[in-house]
Amino acid sequence: MTLSFPLLLAALGATLVQAGTPSKAVIRRGAYLVQVGGCNDCHTPLKMGPKGPEPDMARMLSGHPENLQMPPAPQLPEGPWLITMAATATAFAGPWGVSYAANLTPDKETGLGSWSEAQFLQMIRSGRHLGQGRPVLPPMSVPSLRAATEADQKAIFAYLRSIPAIANRVPAPGDPRVSH
């Protein structure tokens, strides 16, 4: 059978998509999963709008703003209250210390721009930063992400690599406050 030129191009195009660049359908799937998974809830800072706090989509998924230096977290009294949260919903303090929502945009220096897909998948499997470092800290729900199929995990990564890159260096996590 001889393929016509357009068919050949289409076949070649499909191969290229499979080999490297994710297809639009995969990216759309990733966008859907990020939306329903609530990734924006912590990774997109809140700003004050006319009706109260709302996601600042100009900083979509860029994590805790680097220019928002947090003061020491308040110490809660003994009791059932356990966690405090910044007004941006991007910084959290609890028994594990202080954690900051990561920059998920494809910025090479401060986001996922220099991560490989394998590192992203290994982060999910291991629950460790970059798949090999410190534990990914609360409130990030790694088990939920781990429950997704590998195809869906890859789709999430593909989508995150497709969104606008925002340079924003998120602080390193802080140790728990030591009681004296």
Q: Give least dist CB 86 to other proteins, A.
A: 17
Q: Give least dist CB 132 to other proteins, A.
A: 4
Which has the closest alpha carbon to 145: 34, 26, 27, 24? 34
* φ and ψ at residue 48, rounded to 5 degrees: -85, 120
Site for other proteins in 51-110 (CB under 8 A): 96-97, 99, 109-110
Euclidean distance between CA atoms 130 and 18, whole angstroms:
25
What is the residue type of 42? C
By the rule CB under 8 A, 141 interacts with other proteins: no
Instruction: Judge contact between 62 and 111, C-beta under 8 A.
Output: yes
Q: Give least dist CB 125 to other proteins, A.
A: 5
* Collapsed DSSP state (helix, strand, coil) of residue 124: helix
Q: Give least dist CB 118 to other proteins, A.
A: 6
Cβ-based nearer residue to other proteins, 23 or 122:
122
| Tokens of residue 61, six digits | 């998924």
Cβ-based nearer residue to other proteins, 23 or 85:
85
By the rule CB under 8 A, 150 interacts with other proteins: no
By the rule CB under 8 A, 31 interacts with other proteins: no
By the rule CB under 8 A, 115 interacts with other proteins: yes
Euclidean distance between CA atoms 6 and 8, whole angstroms:
5
By the rule CB under 8 A, 130 interacts with other proteins: yes
Which has the closest alpha carbon to 166: 90, 64, 35, 98? 64
Site for other proteins, rule CB under 8 A? 96-97, 99, 109-110, 112-115, 118-119, 122, 125-135, 137, 172-176
